[in-house]
Amino acid sequence: MGIEMNSLRDPDLSVKIGKIKLKNPVMVASGTFGFGEEYKDFFDIHHLGAIIPKGISLKPMMGNPPPRIFETEGGILNSIGLQNPGFQDFIKEKLPYLRKIKTHLLVNFFGNTQKEYIELAKRFDEVPGISGLEMNISCPNVKQGGIIFCSDPKMTNRLVHAVRKSTKLPLIVKLSPNVTDIALMAKSSEEGGADAVSLVNTFKAIAINIHSRKPELGNVIGGLSGPAIKPIALRMVWEVSQAIKIPVIGMGGIMKAEDAIEFILVGASAIQIGTANLVNPKTGIEVINGIKKYLVENKINRVQKLIGLFKP
Ligand SMILES: Cc1cc2nc3c(=O)[nH]c(=O)nc-3n(C[C@H](O)[C@H](O)[C@H](O)COP(=O)(O)O)c2cc1C
Protein backbone atom coordinates (compact mmCIF):
# COMPACT_ATOMS: atom_id res chain seq x y z
CA MET A 1 0.00 0.00 0.00
CA GLY A 2 2.83 2.38 0.98
CA ILE A 3 4.65 1.72 -2.26
CA GLU A 4 1.45 2.30 -4.23
CA MET A 5 0.91 5.68 -2.47
CA ASN A 6 4.49 6.69 -3.26
CA SER A 7 4.14 5.85 -6.93
CA LEU A 8 0.93 7.88 -7.09
CA ARG A 9 2.77 10.91 -5.71
CA ASP A 10 5.85 10.25 -7.79
CA PRO A 11 4.61 8.55 -10.97
CA ASP A 12 6.89 6.57 -13.26
CA LEU A 13 7.46 8.66 -16.39
CA SER A 14 9.66 6.15 -18.20
CA VAL A 15 8.71 4.82 -21.64
CA LYS A 16 10.34 2.50 -24.16
CA ILE A 17 11.06 3.14 -27.81
CA GLY A 18 12.23 -0.23 -29.05
CA LYS A 19 15.37 -1.00 -27.06
CA ILE A 20 15.74 2.56 -25.78
CA LYS A 21 14.43 3.24 -22.30
CA LEU A 22 13.66 6.93 -21.81
CA LYS A 23 13.35 8.48 -18.34
CA ASN A 24 10.33 10.40 -19.62
CA PRO A 25 8.52 10.73 -22.96
CA VAL A 26 9.66 14.29 -23.71
CA MET A 27 12.21 14.86 -26.48
CA VAL A 28 13.22 17.98 -28.36
CA ALA A 29 12.70 17.98 -32.14
CA SER A 30 15.44 18.22 -34.72
CA GLY A 31 16.27 21.72 -35.93
CA THR A 32 14.65 23.51 -33.01
CA PHE A 33 17.16 22.84 -30.23
CA GLY A 34 20.45 23.53 -32.03
CA PHE A 35 23.09 21.10 -30.79
CA GLY A 36 21.95 21.23 -27.17
CA GLU A 37 24.52 23.69 -25.86
CA GLU A 38 22.46 26.67 -27.01
CA TYR A 39 19.80 25.73 -24.41
CA LYS A 40 21.97 24.77 -21.45
CA ASP A 41 21.49 28.08 -19.61
CA PHE A 42 17.70 27.84 -19.64
CA PHE A 43 17.26 24.58 -17.71
CA ASP A 44 19.08 21.34 -16.85
CA ILE A 45 18.69 19.77 -20.25
CA HIS A 46 19.70 16.33 -19.00
CA HIS A 47 16.13 16.11 -17.60
CA LEU A 48 14.86 15.63 -21.17
CA GLY A 49 13.93 12.11 -22.28
CA ALA A 50 16.14 12.55 -25.36
CA ILE A 51 17.80 15.24 -27.43
CA ILE A 52 17.62 15.28 -31.21
CA PRO A 53 20.03 17.78 -32.77
CA LYS A 54 19.79 19.45 -36.18
CA GLY A 55 19.64 17.00 -39.12
CA ILE A 56 23.07 15.91 -40.41
CA SER A 57 24.10 15.12 -43.99
CA LEU A 58 27.31 13.58 -45.31
CA LYS A 59 28.71 16.92 -46.47
CA PRO A 60 28.09 20.39 -44.96
CA MET A 61 25.06 22.24 -46.35
CA MET A 62 24.51 25.99 -46.60
CA GLY A 63 20.73 25.84 -46.74
CA ASN A 64 18.38 28.17 -48.62
CA PRO A 65 18.63 31.91 -49.35
CA PRO A 66 17.16 34.32 -46.74
CA PRO A 67 14.61 35.20 -45.46
CA ARG A 68 14.26 31.69 -44.03
CA ILE A 69 11.79 32.11 -41.18
CA PHE A 70 8.44 33.87 -41.26
CA GLU A 71 5.95 34.01 -38.42
CA THR A 72 2.36 33.18 -39.37
CA GLU A 73 -0.77 33.21 -37.23
CA GLY A 74 -0.36 30.27 -34.89
CA GLY A 75 2.86 29.01 -36.39
CA ILE A 76 6.09 29.59 -38.24
CA LEU A 77 7.09 28.95 -41.78
CA ASN A 78 10.72 27.95 -42.28
CA SER A 79 12.89 27.27 -45.29
CA ILE A 80 16.21 26.69 -43.53
CA GLY A 81 16.89 24.04 -46.16
CA LEU A 82 18.58 21.54 -43.85
CA GLN A 83 21.66 23.70 -43.28
CA ASN A 84 24.16 21.73 -41.20
CA PRO A 85 27.91 21.29 -40.61
CA GLY A 86 28.06 17.81 -42.19
CA PHE A 87 29.13 14.49 -40.64
CA GLN A 88 32.80 15.26 -39.95
CA ASP A 89 32.31 18.61 -38.24
CA PHE A 90 29.35 17.26 -36.31
CA ILE A 91 31.53 14.50 -34.85
CA LYS A 92 34.44 16.85 -34.13
CA GLU A 93 32.68 20.02 -33.01
CA LYS A 94 29.20 19.11 -31.74
CA LEU A 95 29.24 15.52 -30.51
CA PRO A 96 31.69 16.01 -27.58
CA TYR A 97 29.20 18.33 -25.81
CA LEU A 98 26.11 16.29 -26.74
CA ARG A 99 27.74 13.14 -25.42
CA LYS A 100 28.23 14.71 -21.99
CA ILE A 101 24.50 15.40 -21.50
CA LYS A 102 23.09 12.68 -19.27
CA THR A 103 20.25 11.68 -21.54
CA HIS A 104 19.75 9.81 -24.80
CA LEU A 105 21.11 11.31 -27.98
CA LEU A 106 19.13 10.47 -31.10
CA VAL A 107 20.86 11.65 -34.27
CA ASN A 108 18.66 12.98 -37.07
CA PHE A 109 20.16 12.45 -40.52
CA PHE A 110 19.29 12.52 -44.21
CA GLY A 111 20.77 12.02 -47.67
CA ASN A 112 20.18 13.02 -51.26
CA THR A 113 20.48 9.45 -52.49
CA GLN A 114 19.89 6.04 -50.96
CA LYS A 115 23.66 5.52 -51.05
CA GLU A 116 24.21 8.60 -48.89
CA TYR A 117 21.67 7.42 -46.31
CA ILE A 118 23.41 4.04 -46.13
CA GLU A 119 26.86 5.61 -45.87
CA LEU A 120 25.77 7.88 -43.01
CA ALA A 121 24.04 5.06 -41.13
CA LYS A 122 27.24 2.99 -41.35
CA ARG A 123 29.37 5.87 -40.13
CA PHE A 124 27.10 6.67 -37.17
CA ASP A 125 27.09 2.99 -36.27
CA GLU A 126 30.76 3.25 -35.36
CA VAL A 127 30.39 6.38 -33.22
CA PRO A 128 30.09 5.82 -29.45
CA GLY A 129 27.54 7.81 -27.45
CA ILE A 130 24.61 7.66 -29.87
CA SER A 131 21.46 5.89 -28.61
CA GLY A 132 19.64 5.76 -31.93
CA LEU A 133 19.06 7.31 -35.34
CA GLU A 134 16.14 9.34 -36.58
CA MET A 135 16.03 9.20 -40.35
CA ASN A 136 14.43 12.21 -42.06
CA ILE A 137 12.90 10.96 -45.31
CA SER A 138 11.30 14.27 -46.35
CA CYS A 139 14.14 14.86 -48.82
CA PRO A 140 14.37 14.79 -52.61
CA ASN A 141 16.02 11.75 -54.18
CA VAL A 142 18.34 13.40 -56.69
CA LYS A 143 18.85 10.05 -58.47
CA GLN A 144 15.10 9.86 -59.21
CA GLY A 145 14.37 13.31 -60.57
CA GLY A 146 14.02 14.88 -57.13
CA ILE A 147 10.97 12.86 -56.05
CA ILE A 148 10.72 13.03 -52.27
CA PHE A 149 11.74 9.70 -50.64
CA CYS A 150 8.76 9.56 -48.34
CA SER A 151 6.16 10.31 -51.01
CA ASP A 152 6.21 6.78 -52.39
CA PRO A 153 5.60 3.74 -50.17
CA LYS A 154 7.85 1.44 -52.23
CA MET A 155 10.75 3.91 -52.17
CA THR A 156 10.26 4.39 -48.42
CA ASN A 157 10.26 0.64 -47.86
CA ARG A 158 13.40 0.09 -49.96
CA LEU A 159 15.23 2.93 -48.23
CA VAL A 160 14.32 1.83 -44.71
CA HIS A 161 15.23 -1.77 -45.51
CA ALA A 162 18.65 -0.76 -46.88
CA VAL A 163 19.43 1.55 -43.95
CA ARG A 164 18.21 -1.06 -41.45
CA LYS A 165 20.85 -3.46 -42.77
CA SER A 166 23.58 -0.81 -42.43
CA THR A 167 23.36 -0.12 -38.71
CA LYS A 168 22.77 -1.90 -35.43
CA LEU A 169 21.46 1.31 -33.84
CA PRO A 170 17.71 1.65 -33.19
CA LEU A 171 16.17 3.24 -36.27
CA ILE A 172 13.34 5.77 -36.08
CA VAL A 173 11.81 6.85 -39.40
CA LYS A 174 10.52 10.43 -39.42
CA LEU A 175 7.47 10.77 -41.63
CA SER A 176 6.26 13.69 -43.68
CA PRO A 177 2.65 14.87 -43.45
CA ASN A 178 2.75 15.93 -47.11
CA VAL A 179 1.31 12.63 -48.33
CA THR A 180 -2.18 11.31 -49.04
CA ASP A 181 -2.01 8.40 -46.62
CA ILE A 182 0.54 8.72 -43.83
CA ALA A 183 -0.50 5.39 -42.26
CA LEU A 184 0.60 3.67 -45.47
CA MET A 185 4.04 5.29 -45.18
CA ALA A 186 4.25 4.19 -41.55
CA LYS A 187 3.41 0.65 -42.57
CA SER A 188 6.08 0.70 -45.31
CA SER A 189 8.59 1.84 -42.71
CA GLU A 190 7.57 -0.86 -40.25
CA GLU A 191 7.84 -3.53 -42.94
CA GLY A 192 11.24 -2.13 -43.93
CA GLY A 193 12.49 -2.80 -40.40
CA ALA A 194 12.05 0.52 -38.57
CA ASP A 195 12.05 0.27 -34.76
CA ALA A 196 9.73 3.28 -34.45
CA VAL A 197 8.27 6.12 -36.49
CA SER A 198 8.13 9.79 -35.60
CA LEU A 199 5.65 12.27 -37.06
CA VAL A 200 4.99 14.88 -38.24
CA ASN A 201 7.58 16.90 -40.08
CA THR A 202 6.47 20.32 -41.37
CA PHE A 203 3.62 20.99 -43.81
CA LYS A 204 4.55 22.53 -47.18
CA ALA A 205 3.19 26.08 -47.22
CA ILE A 206 3.71 29.64 -48.51
CA ALA A 207 3.24 33.15 -47.19
CA ILE A 208 3.02 36.23 -49.40
CA ASN A 209 3.42 39.95 -48.96
CA ILE A 210 0.51 41.76 -50.61
CA HIS A 211 2.48 45.01 -50.98
CA SER A 212 5.48 43.62 -52.81
CA ARG A 213 3.35 40.72 -54.13
CA LYS A 214 6.37 38.55 -53.44
CA PRO A 215 6.86 35.50 -51.21
CA GLU A 216 7.91 36.12 -47.62
CA LEU A 217 10.54 33.35 -47.87
CA GLY A 218 13.57 33.42 -50.15
CA ASN A 219 12.78 29.84 -51.17
CA VAL A 220 9.07 30.67 -51.83
CA ILE A 221 7.90 27.38 -50.25
CA GLY A 222 8.61 26.56 -46.63
CA GLY A 223 7.45 24.18 -43.92
CA LEU A 224 4.71 25.16 -41.49
CA SER A 225 5.01 24.14 -37.84
CA GLY A 226 3.60 25.21 -34.48
CA PRO A 227 0.09 25.29 -32.96
CA ALA A 228 -1.55 25.80 -36.37
CA ILE A 229 -0.72 22.21 -37.34
CA LYS A 230 -1.56 20.49 -34.05
CA PRO A 231 -5.05 19.16 -34.81
CA ILE A 232 -3.87 17.70 -38.13
CA ALA A 233 -0.75 16.19 -36.56
CA LEU A 234 -2.89 14.67 -33.82
CA ARG A 235 -5.20 13.05 -36.36
CA MET A 236 -2.20 11.64 -38.22
CA VAL A 237 -0.58 10.24 -35.07
CA TRP A 238 -3.88 8.61 -34.19
CA GLU A 239 -4.22 7.02 -37.65
CA VAL A 240 -0.63 5.80 -37.63
CA SER A 241 -0.89 4.36 -34.10
CA GLN A 242 -3.81 2.21 -35.21
CA ALA A 243 -2.03 1.01 -38.34
CA ILE A 244 1.30 -0.25 -36.93
CA LYS A 245 2.69 -2.18 -33.97
CA ILE A 246 6.02 -0.37 -33.48
CA PRO A 247 6.12 2.69 -31.19
CA VAL A 248 5.01 6.08 -32.49
CA ILE A 249 6.64 9.36 -31.49
CA GLY A 250 4.24 12.28 -31.91
CA MET A 251 4.85 15.94 -32.58
CA GLY A 252 3.35 19.00 -34.24
CA GLY A 253 2.46 22.16 -32.35
CA ILE A 254 3.07 20.91 -28.81
CA MET A 255 3.35 24.07 -26.71
CA LYS A 256 2.39 22.78 -23.25
CA ALA A 257 1.85 19.61 -21.22
CA GLU A 258 -1.83 19.34 -22.19
CA ASP A 259 -0.86 19.15 -25.87
CA ALA A 260 1.69 16.44 -25.14
CA ILE A 261 -0.92 14.44 -23.19
CA GLU A 262 -3.28 14.60 -26.18
CA PHE A 263 -0.60 13.02 -28.39
CA ILE A 264 0.06 10.29 -25.80
CA LEU A 265 -3.66 9.58 -25.51
CA VAL A 266 -4.00 9.05 -29.28
CA GLY A 267 -1.17 6.52 -29.15
CA ALA A 268 2.23 8.25 -29.02
CA SER A 269 4.72 6.48 -26.74
CA ALA A 270 6.81 9.66 -26.66
CA ILE A 271 6.55 13.20 -27.98
CA GLN A 272 8.82 15.89 -29.41
CA ILE A 273 8.76 19.62 -28.84
CA GLY A 274 9.76 21.74 -31.82
CA THR A 275 8.64 25.30 -32.51
CA ALA A 276 7.78 25.85 -28.82
CA ASN A 277 11.53 25.79 -28.04
CA LEU A 278 11.88 28.95 -30.14
CA VAL A 279 9.06 30.70 -28.26
CA ASN A 280 9.81 29.53 -24.70
CA PRO A 281 13.15 27.74 -24.34
CA LYS A 282 11.99 26.12 -21.08
CA THR A 283 9.05 24.33 -22.70
CA GLY A 284 10.77 20.93 -22.39
CA ILE A 285 11.03 20.97 -18.60
CA GLU A 286 7.60 22.56 -18.22
CA VAL A 287 6.01 19.77 -20.27
CA ILE A 288 7.78 17.09 -18.19
CA ASN A 289 6.50 18.68 -14.95
CA GLY A 290 3.02 19.18 -16.41
CA ILE A 291 2.70 15.52 -17.44
CA LYS A 292 3.76 14.49 -13.94
CA LYS A 293 1.18 16.82 -12.37
CA TYR A 294 -1.57 15.41 -14.59
CA LEU A 295 -0.67 11.85 -13.56
CA VAL A 296 -0.68 12.77 -9.85
CA GLU A 297 -4.01 14.60 -10.14
CA ASN A 298 -5.55 11.66 -11.97
CA LYS A 299 -4.00 9.07 -9.62
CA ILE A 300 -2.17 7.27 -12.43
CA ASN A 301 1.16 5.76 -11.34
CA ARG A 302 2.79 5.26 -14.78
CA VAL A 303 2.72 7.40 -17.91
CA GLN A 304 2.72 4.20 -19.97
CA LYS A 305 -0.86 3.64 -18.87
CA LEU A 306 -1.92 6.77 -20.78
CA ILE A 307 -0.62 5.61 -24.16
CA GLY A 308 -3.54 5.07 -26.55
CA LEU A 309 -6.23 5.57 -23.89
CA PHE A 310 -8.24 7.69 -26.33
CA LYS A 311 -11.21 5.60 -27.40
CA PRO A 312 -13.76 7.51 -29.47
C1 LIG B 1 13.49 25.93 -37.82
C2 LIG B 1 13.17 24.47 -37.99
C3 LIG B 1 14.16 23.59 -38.43
C4 LIG B 1 13.87 22.22 -38.58
N5 LIG B 1 14.85 21.36 -38.98
C6 LIG B 1 14.60 20.02 -39.09
C7 LIG B 1 15.63 19.09 -39.44
O8 LIG B 1 16.80 19.43 -39.63
N9 LIG B 1 15.30 17.77 -39.55
C10 LIG B 1 14.02 17.32 -39.32
O11 LIG B 1 13.77 16.10 -39.42
N12 LIG B 1 13.03 18.18 -38.95
C13 LIG B 1 13.29 19.51 -38.83
N14 LIG B 1 12.29 20.38 -38.45
C15 LIG B 1 10.93 19.85 -38.15
C16 LIG B 1 10.71 19.67 -36.66
O17 LIG B 1 11.65 18.78 -36.10
C18 LIG B 1 9.26 19.18 -36.37
O19 LIG B 1 9.06 17.96 -37.05
C20 LIG B 1 8.19 20.16 -36.87
O21 LIG B 1 8.61 21.48 -36.66
C22 LIG B 1 6.82 19.95 -36.20
O23 LIG B 1 6.85 20.11 -34.81
P24 LIG B 1 6.49 21.52 -34.08
O25 LIG B 1 5.17 21.98 -34.62
O26 LIG B 1 6.47 21.22 -32.62
O27 LIG B 1 7.58 22.47 -34.45
C28 LIG B 1 12.56 21.75 -38.30
C29 LIG B 1 11.57 22.64 -37.86
C30 LIG B 1 11.85 23.99 -37.69
C31 LIG B 1 10.77 24.91 -37.21
- The residue whose C-alpha atom lies closest to atom 11 belonging to ligand 1 is 136
Q: Residue 150 catalytic?
A: no
**Which protein residues are within 6 Å of ligand 1, measured from CB?**
29-32, 54-55, 76, 78, 80, 82, 108, 136, 174, 201-202, 225-226, 229, 251-254, 273-276
C-alpha span between 235 and 134 (Å, rounded): 22
Task: Dump strand ranges (E) for 49-168.
Answer: 50-51, 69-72, 75-78, 104-109, 132-136, 140-141, 147-148
How would you write the pLDDT of the chain (312 residues) with one tens digit per residue?
A: 455 667 889 999 999 999 999 999 999 999 999 999 999 999 999 999 999 999 999 999 999 999 999 999 999 999 999 999 999 999 999 999 999 999 999 999 999 999 999 999 999 999 999 999 999 999 877 787 777 888 899 999 999 999 999 999 999 999 999 999 999 999 999 999 999 999 999 999 999 999 999 999 999 999 999 999 999 999 999 999 999 999 999 999 999 999 999 999 999 999 999 999 999 999 999 999 999 999 999 999 999 999 999 989
**6 CA distance to ligand 1 centroid (A)?**
38
Return the closest-CA partner of residue 284 out of 103, 18, 70.
103
Query: Does residue 112 contact residue 119 with C-beta atoms inside 8 Å?
Result: no
C-alpha span between 304 and 302 (Å, rounded): 5
Q: 87: Cβ–Cβ under 8 A, 6 or more apart, which residues?
A: 56, 57, 58, 59, 120, 123
Q: Residue 262: what are its φ and ψ, rounded to 5°?
A: -60, -45
Shortest-distance atom of ligand 1 to CA 54:
8
For ligand 1, pick from 275, 279, 283 the residue to mutate: most ligand atoms within 8 Å of CB.
Answer: 275
Overall pTM > 0.75? yes
Q: Which amino acid is at 133?
A: L
DSSP state of 216: S
